[in-house]
Chains A and B, each alone.
Chain A
């Protein structure tokens, strides 16, 4: 169908407005974070260099990155075997698992934090006051998104038939999980991992109210002393998360476009 010039113009204007909506704040952040206050009109990378030079900020970046990896690993260990098992062996439990996994969406983060404060005290008692303890509530926060990604991947493949085919060929259940199902839900796992990393890198409520130092809390602290560096950190985080989401769309795109005749 050919579009009229008017349609094309309207579409172009809307695209431009959307692009400006995102681009102007980003440009402003970049502009502000590279502004040289001592020499007005000049640019400096001082604020950006603090991302590495400022020990507290650098440590918080490492903490958040490590925390995101740990959270994703924990989520995989907890959720992937559970969902595969439910799909193959206990399909009646699927609704219950779905309800439990989607519950964190319905409960505000603030309420969850208040609810788990005492639990976290016990966790701190046993493992010390380490920010890595946050991985436990973060897994709960991640459940709805990870569940959706994995469920879509499992539904898209004929998991039961493939599992039965593998079993009839002599595969143990462990082999069915690791060599048959897991490789075929790779896109869902990558998607869940990227969403998990993005969520942990940007999460503020839990870490702030439970008194842990992560990148978002450090950005807030820094914004009070060195605003340009905090903006630089925020900008860097947006770029990293955007890159992750781009990677997500790249890794999870449908490659099976060649159909048989």
Chain B
């Protein structure tokens, strides 16, 4: 269940130009209160730029930023009341874990007792209570990012911003911390923007996923909707694995390997095209309608990926 105590966020027509590069090109995004939205896209698509503009760490060439309906476009970063977790480890090396978490509260003039109490509660939330007296270099990468999360949440931010916080971690820790971020976010109900280039991460954690391409939002939808009904070829290609198969469409049905397959909404209704077929939609059997030769099999633990040579030598995965 998603909490709804957070504030809504609107990025309105954001454009950011770096020299001759348009990192953002009329970017629009609405995040409802308490929602976790993941921005997904390849390197250089503008997702981090959008997040930094929301945080006040970068300035938009044009466009506006609104939180709870209030325009904060010109408000400096230290007055925006946003918690942020960075891709790079960002704990202050000369402070203990407890002092790191309490730093934002100190900046808000809270007395020592109150800020240590709150910092302790936040460390408890991320399961690091006993590490309060340690320094950053005495923690693992995963622990450092959990402290950074606690630090960002300690100030009770109106919006939580996560800039690829898991990308420096190994796979197992990444999955654990991803689940923990979601648990904590649901618990505190803070509106959250999560930037990542990892589709699995985005699909697993977010209420909605926005796929960015060349400074624009190609599609924003729930993970299931995004996966099942990609709005553009870019989204279809970027999210999940695909087989690209030349086809002919007639009356909303595509001819594939001698079979007629229904197309999804938004596809062309007739004529030649390129079908994108999810590997899990293909079943490999000995008595199918299409003949192919198994080129290779990759064992991936819970699943195996089978590469088939079909027709005139094209290799498909299933």
Binding site for B on A (CB under 8 A): 157-158, 161-162, 164-172, 175, 180, 183-184, 256, 258-261
> What 8 A-B pairs come out closest when comparing CB atoms?
A169-B104, A170-B107, A260-B140, A165-B90, A168-B84, A167-B77, A183-B94, A256-B137
Q: Report whether B155 and A169 are in contact in the complex, using a CB–CB cutoff of 8 Å.
A: yes
Interface of B with A (CB < 8 Å)? 55-57, 76-84, 86, 88-90, 92-94, 103-104, 107-108, 137-141, 143-144, 148, 151-152, 155, 161
- Contact: A158 with B94, CB < 8 Å? no
CA distance A158 to B57 in the complex (A): 16
Residues of B within 8 A of A169 (CB): 78, 83, 103-104, 107, 151-152, 155
B155→A256 contact, CB < 8 A: no
| B57: chain A residues within 8 A (beta carbon) | 164, 167-168
With both beta carbons as reference points, the residue of chain B lying nearest to A165 in the complex is identified as B90
CA separation between A197 and B77, bound complex, in Å? Answer: 40
Pick from A170, A184, A260: contact of B108, CB below 8 A: A170
B92 contacts which of A164, A166, A256 (Cβ < 8 Å)? A166
- Give the A-B contact count at a CB cut-off of 8 A: 78
Which residue of the partner chain, among A164, A183, A260, contacts B144 with CB atoms under 8 Å? A260
Instruction: Determine the residue in chain A with the shortest Cβ distance to B157.
Output: A168
Q: Would you give the shortest CB distance from A4 to chain B, in whole angstroms?
A: 39
Which of A158, A164, A261 contacts B77, CB < 8 Å?
A164
Q: In this complex, what residue of A is CB-closest to B142?
A: A260
List of B residues within 8 angstroms of A168 by Cβ: 55-57, 77-78, 80, 82-84, 152, 161
Given the complex of chains A and B, what is the CA–CA distance between A171 and B108 in angstroms? 9
Chain B residues, Cβ within 8 Å of A172: 78
Given A168-B55, A184-B94, A260-B139, does the pair A175, B89 have CB atoms closer than 8 Å? no
A167: B residues at CB distance < 8 A = 56-57, 76-78
Complex Cα gap A231–B159 (Å):
69
Q: Which of A158, A175, A183, A261 contacts B90 (CB 8 A)?
A: A158
With A168-B82, A260-B140: A158-B107 Cβ-Cβ less than 8 Å? no
Contacts of A260 in B (CB 8 A): 137-141, 143-144
Alpha-carbon distance between A168 and B103 when the two chains are bound, in angstroms = 11
Docked-complex contact A170 and B155, CB < 8 angstroms: yes
Among B55, B56, B82, B92, residue most surrounded by chain A Cβ atoms (within 10 Å):
B92
On chain B, the residues within 8 Å of A184 by CB distance are 92-94
Q: Which residues of B contact A166 (CB under 8 A)?
A: 92, 103
Closest residue of chain B to A164 (Cβ to Cβ) is: B57
B104 interface neighbour in A157, A158, A170, Cβ under 8 Å = A170
B77, B79, B82, B143, most chain A CB atoms within 10 A: B77
Query: A258, B137: Cβ atoms under 8 Å?
Result: yes
Known contacts A158-B89, A183-B94, A260-B144, A171 near B107 by CB under 8 Å:
yes
Q: How far is the CA of A167 from the CA of B139 in the complex (A)?
A: 23
Residue of B56, B57, B90 ringed by the most chain A CB atoms within 10 A: B90
**Residues in A neighbouring B104, C-beta threshold 8 A:** 169-170
**Chain B residues whose CB sits within 8 angstroms of the CB of A256 once the complex forms:** 93, 137
A-B contacts, 20 of them at CB < 8 A, read A158-B90, A161-B88, A162-B90, A164-B84, A164-B90, A165-B84, A165-B86, A165-B90, A167-B57, A167-B76, A168-B56, A169-B103, A170-B107, A180-B92, A184-B92, A184-B94, A256-B93, A258-B138, A260-B139, A260-B141
- The answer to whether A171 and B78 touch across the interface, beta carbons within 8 angstroms, is yes
- Beta-carbon nearest neighbor of A257 in chain B: B137
Most chain B beta-carbon neighbours within 10 Å: one of A165, A168, A172, A259: A168
Kindly provide the distance from the CB of B145 to the nearest chain A CB, expressed in whole angstroms: 11
Rounded to whole Å, the gap between the CB of A255 and the closest CB of chain B is 9
Q: Are A161 and B86 in contact (CB under 8 A)?
A: yes
In the complex the two chains form, is A261's CB within 8 Å of B140's CB? yes
Question: In the complex, what distance in Å separates the CA atom of A171 from the CA atom of B106?
Answer: 9
- Chain A residues with Cβ below 8 Å from B144 are 260
Q: How far is the CB of B86 from chain A (nearest CB, A)?
A: 5
CB-CB under 8 A from A164, the residues of chain B are: 55, 57, 77, 84, 86, 90
Q: Which residues of A contact B155 (CB under 8 A)?
A: 169-170
**Alpha-carbon separation in the docked complex, A90 to B75 (Å):** 21
* Bound Cα distance from A256 to B155, whole angstroms: 29
Residues of A within 8 A of B93 (CB): 157, 184, 256
A residues less than 8 Å from B83 (CB atoms): 168-169
For residue B84, give the distance in angstroms from its CB to the closest CB of chain A: 4
